Amino acid sequence: MTANGSLDRPTLIGGISSEGMVHIKDEGSHFDAPIDIVWKYVQSQETHGQSHRSTRNQQMKQLSENSMVISMEQNMNGNWVKVANRITIVPPLGMAIEVIEGPMAGSKMFNVYTAKGNRTGIDVYGEFMSNQIPAAQLEPMVRGFLDSVFTEDSAGIKAFAAKK
């Protein structure tokens, strides 16, 4: 967010490929906290998970020191849907997220974090697909999802940093 409270968000670049896959490149966003606070927040399952109001009943299965599967119900257009994501964290660079269950199964994205003093840059690159969501609806849905998650994480990081 900027000093006046508006979201500091760049324009997303994307497009639907001939295979019904959406490529999204979202660069230039930032969180108003240093990278060490962002990583502590991201790795705090309780705090981070509770920040996302569009999910419920989260369960985590640790696969290795840096990999996990998070299963949950996610609200998609007013319907609660079971999803699972395999997440690999690579501090302080970023994380890879692969959707392994649910309407977006097969989708993959990378969140790249960049230290910028008291702020942390976040760039997102992804290939999103669905065998249940029509291609024409996929890109706007993904963009809405990314905006929602960014807004939830921004508020969550702000609250988390205030406690530190």
Residue 10 pLDDT? 42
Mean pLDDT, the chain, rounded, equals 87
Residue 19 pLDDT? 54
- Residue 135 predicted with pLDDT over 60: yes
> DSSP class of residue 146?
H
Site of tokens 């999803």:
83
pLDDT digits over 93-106, tens only?
999 999 999 999 99
CB 156 within 8 A of CB 48: yes
pLDDT digits over 21-69, tens only?
899 999 999 999 999 999 999 988 777 878 888 889 999 999 999 999 9
Residue 17 pLDDT? 46
pLDDT band of residue 14 (cuts 50, 70, 90) is low
Question: Closest by alpha carbon to 156, among 27, 4, 42, 59?
Answer: 42
Residue 134 pLDDT? 83
Q: What is the rounded distance in angstroms from the CA atom of residue 74 to the CA atom of residue 41? A: 20
Domains of the chain, first to last:
13-163 (3.30.530.20)
Q: What is the rounded distance in angstroms from the CA atom of residue 94 to the CA atom of residue 8? A: 20
Report CA 3 to chain centroid distance, whole Å. Answer: 23
The H-or-E segment that residue 116 falls in is: strand 108-116
Peptide linkage before 140 cis (omega within 30 of 0): no
Report CA 116 to chain centroid distance, whole Å. Answer: 20
